[in-house]
Amino acid sequence: LYAGRHASPVVAAMLISPSCTRASTMEHVLGAAAKFNLRRYGWTSWSLQHLMKRMFSYRALAGGSGGLFGSDLACTAKREMSELNAKAVLAYYEAALNRLDNTHIYENLDIDAIILAGTNSPWYKDTLHMNAVMRPRKVAWIEMEGCGTVVTMEDPTCLLSPINLFIQRLKSEGVC
């Protein structure tokens, strides 16, 4: 959104599973449960698992002897998320659920961008919508099959080539 409001200093962007429309009814229902749990009990096993399911695919969370949340990524995310201030996460969640439809900003955005979209992300449809409304010559859309929202953590090696090509294109065009 910063690039849409202040286009002159921004020349390129990497958007990772971005959301551009209002939160859906289902997102509000799940969000209300998560907010209640965080507000009342702080970090619990349920709230950690709920947020991890929003961020990562089941493939990334499964593994090891720990079942669904037994992968190295899941264990690391759970440990690091539990150290976050629950009130700060609650404020972020509140802002995410009350976001506006920003399609008009992305329609007029005149910057080079790469959109990284995980097919298992809750915001996958938003990334498709954003890709459709942005200027086709300026946008590269990368779909990561089987990944969740945080594609850069789930499959970083698969992203090296597309990101490198995007940066090389920017360099060849004199953008950076």
pLDDT tens for each residue of 3-23: 556 556 778 889 888 888 898
The 10s digit of each residue's pLDDT in 29-69 is 988 998 999 999 988 888 888 888 888 888 888 876 656 78
DSSP secondary structure code for residue 175 in this structure: -
Distance CA 111, CA 29 (A): 35
How big is the chain, counted in residues?
176
Whether the Cβ atoms of residue 134 and residue 122 lie closer than 8 Å to each other: no
CA atoms within 13 Å, Cβ hemisphere of 126: 23
Q: Which residues contact 138 (CB under 8 A, 6 or more apart)?
A: 110, 111, 112, 113
| Torsion sign across C-alpha atoms 84, 87, 93, 96 | negative
Distance CA 15, CA 11 (A): 13
Whether the Cβ atoms of residue 44 and residue 51 lie closer than 8 Å to each other: no
- The label of the residue with tokens 């002897």 reads 65
Distance CA 135, CA 145 (A): 24
Average pLDDT of 87-116?
A: 88
Whether the Cβ atoms of residue 126 and residue 18 lie closer than 8 Å to each other: yes
Look at 61-70, 132-141, 154-163 and tell me which has the smallest mean pLDDT.
61-70
* pLDDT for position 3: 57
Q: How confident is the model at residue 143 (pLDDT cuts 50, 70, 90)?
A: very high
Distance CA 40, CA 124 (A): 30
